[in-house]
């Protein structure tokens, strides 16, 4: 009896797991869906589920016979194709009534040799892709733009391995992902401790009962890390993805920056060619004795994930400039050797980040008061505080993305009781003393003039 109970429990768990991992294909009204049975199959049965019932739609070996089971409406929209002697079956002009779970059951020599279940959801409209940046290990709320006050929504995540969508939530309260939980008030997903193996493609379906009204795709990704180094230094690029095994470490690929002759104008966000070279296979990439030619894009690739680093190698900088500030000031840092057509990149080594160098683009969520002006290459920090102290580099890139010069500026806090304050106090004291002396001299001169006038008047009288 106990064995039967345990078996029933395992079977129940298996059924729930299969249901939880239901794989969904999204299509849109007026579109199409193609069934591709295996070549070796003698025939296949294509069925759909309506509630608990399974209805046979067609038998591929007797599709157009008098005994065909294809519904009349579907028969008018069904087409058969063939590529390399492999037949395919396409349903054209999809409508929301085609949304259902389908089964493709194929037979070879009297035995079932292939079975594929597909859940097709047909939506009326598709919104534009929304891209959201999140820092590695960070937390982000992904909102459903089309939900408004409608909480009848469904969140899906894209599985690159199966090329299909699966549900994020089985119901309103149970999450199928350890690092995802729903924010009911905003119909949003909260992704915490984001990594490169976290699902990065999501879709929110706005539902009217069982009908999909609209879909809203979202891409959540970590922006590329921009790394600064000077020539002759050593760069260590870390691969933060974790979906690799010991026998298959990640592959490092490099793409050089595009040439201005190829793109028309050098910009970091220009699409580059697909020409790339393999530069290593390991969990980290170490490049010693850096030269300017090491600048470029480096990709850490595994089977399903990809992480990008942008390495900028610059000439060594000269003596740094110094900027003093008091809390609440606005500080403008100038980028020397910048001219029109060049790209200024600003980097920061904060006194509070253990000497790590950050590109200001990567830390923009932390430094909301930092703005870069590409028209003159300057960096403006408003309402300066102690956390802004540190070293700042401006790397000037030519139209071919080659770093031609670097400007270093030390941003220091003006101590209220330091030497700068002392000089300020002494200066103010001297000015005040001189002002008092001047006033005394003026009063003395005026008094003497009056006395002289009185003596002259007495003499005349």
**Strands 180-183, 164-167: pairing kind:** unpaired
Phi–psi pair at 71, nearest 5 degrees: -60, 150
Q: Does domain 129-221 have CATH number 2.60.40.10?
A: yes
Distance CA 415, CA 426 (A): 15
Chain centroid to Cα 197, Å, comes to 13
Using DSSP bridges, classify how beta strands 277-281 and 251-255 pair: parallel, antiparallel or unpaired: antiparallel
pLDDT recorded at residue 255: 82
Cα 1 from chain centroid? 54
CA–CA dist 331, 316 (Å, integer): 24
pLDDT of residue 384: 82
Whole-angstrom distance, CA of residue 74 vs CA of residue 57 = 9
For residue 277, what pLDDT is reported? 84
Residue ranges of the chain that CATH labels 2.60.40.10: 20-124, 129-221
Q: What pairing do the DSSP bridges indicate for beta strands 23-28 and 111-126?
A: parallel
DSSP 245: B
User: What burial class does residue 197 get, using C-beta atoms within 10 Å of its C-beta: 0-12 exposed, 13-18 middle, 19+ buried?
Assistant: middle
Given this model, what pLDDT does residue 269 score?
46
Secondary structure (H, E, C), 286-335:
EECCCCHHHCEEEEEECCCCEEEEEEEEECCCCCCEEEEECCCCCEEECC
By CB atoms closer than 10 A (0-12, 13-18, 19+), residue 403 is buried
Architecture of domain 226-311: Sandwich (2.60)
162: which strand partners?
A: none
Q: What CA–CA distance (Å, rounded) separates 161 from 303? A: 9
The answer to whether 204 and 146 are in contact (CB under 8 A) is: yes
Using CA of residue 358, residue 360, residue 361, residue 362, what is the dihedral sign?
Answer: positive
- Provide the token pair at 261: 């002759």
pLDDT tens for the 461 residues of the chain, in order: 444 333 333 333 333 343 446 789 999 999 999 999 998 899 999 999 988 899 999 999 888 887 788 888 898 899 999 887 888 999 999 999 999 999 999 999 889 999 999 999 999 999 999 988 887 777 888 888 878 766 688 899 888 767 889 888 876 666 667 677 777 667 788 888 777 666 788 999 998 888 999 999 998 877 777 888 889 999 888 887 665 555 678 888 888 766 655 544 444 444 444 467 888 888 889 999 999 989 888 988 776 667 888 888 988 888 888 888 888 888 888 887 777 778 888 888 776 655 567 776 655 444 556 666 556 778 888 888 887 788 888 888 888 888 888 888 888 887 765 544 455 444 555 555 566 677 666 667 677 776 666 666 656 55
CATH fold label, 20-124: Immunoglobulin-like (2.60.40)
């Amino acid at each position: 009896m106990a064995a039967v109970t345990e078996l029933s429990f395992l079977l129940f768990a298996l059924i729930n797991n299969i249901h939880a991992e239901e794989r969904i294909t999204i299509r849109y009204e007026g579109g199409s869906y193609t069934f591709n049975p295996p070549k070796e199959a003698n025939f296949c049965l294509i069925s759909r589920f309506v509630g608990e019932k399974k209805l046979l739609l067609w038998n591929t070996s007797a599709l157009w016979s008098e005994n065909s089971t294809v519904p009349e409406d579907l028969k008018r929209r069904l087409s058969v194709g063939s590529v390399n002697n492999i037949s395919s079956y396409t349903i054209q002009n999809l409508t929301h009534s085609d949304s259902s779970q389908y089964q493709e059951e194929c037979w070879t020599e009297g035995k079932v040799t292939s079975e594929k279940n597909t859940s097709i959801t047909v939506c009326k409209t598709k919104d534009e892709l929304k891209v959201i940046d999140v820092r590695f290990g960070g937390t982000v709320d992904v909102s459903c733009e089309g939900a408004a006050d409608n909480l009848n929504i469904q969140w899906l995540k894209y599985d690159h391995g199966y090329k299909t969508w699966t549900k994020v939530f089985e119901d309103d309260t149970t999450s199928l992902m350890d690092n995802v939980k729903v924010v009911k008030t905003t119909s949003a997903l909260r992704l915490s401790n984001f990594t490169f193996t976290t699902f990065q493609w999501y879709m929110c379906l706005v539902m009217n009962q069982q009908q999909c009204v609209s879909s809203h795709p979202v891409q959540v990704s970590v922006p590329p890390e921009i790394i600064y180094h000077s020539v002759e230094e050593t760069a260590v690029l870390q691969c933060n993805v974790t979906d690799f095994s010991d026998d298959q470490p990640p592959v490092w690929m490099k793409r050089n920056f595009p040439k201005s002759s190829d793109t028309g104008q050098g910009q970091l966000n220009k699409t580059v060619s697909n020409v790339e070279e393999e530069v290593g296979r390991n969990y980290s990439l170490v490049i010693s004795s850096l030269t300017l030619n090491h600048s470029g894009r480096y990709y850490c690739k595994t089977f399903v994930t990809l992480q990008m680093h942008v390495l900028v190698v610059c000439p060594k900088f000269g003596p740094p400039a110094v900027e003093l500030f008091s809390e609440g000031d606005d500080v403008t840092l100038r980028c020397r050797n910048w001219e029109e057509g060049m790209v200024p990149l600003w980097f920061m080594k904060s006194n509070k980040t253990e000497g790590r160098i950050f590109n200001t683009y990567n830390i923009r969520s932390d430094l909301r008061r930092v703005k870069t002006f590409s028209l003159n290459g300057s960096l403006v920090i408003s309402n300066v505080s102690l956390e802004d102290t540190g070293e700042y580099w401006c790397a000037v890139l030519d139209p071919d993305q080659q770093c031609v010069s670097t400007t270093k500026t030390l941003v220091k806090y003006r101590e209220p009781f330091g030497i700068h304050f002392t000089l300020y106090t002494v200066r103010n004291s001297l000015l005040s003393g001189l002002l008092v002396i001047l006033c005394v001299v003026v009063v003395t001169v005026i008094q003497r003039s009056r006395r002289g006038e009185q003596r002259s008047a007495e003499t005349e009288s």
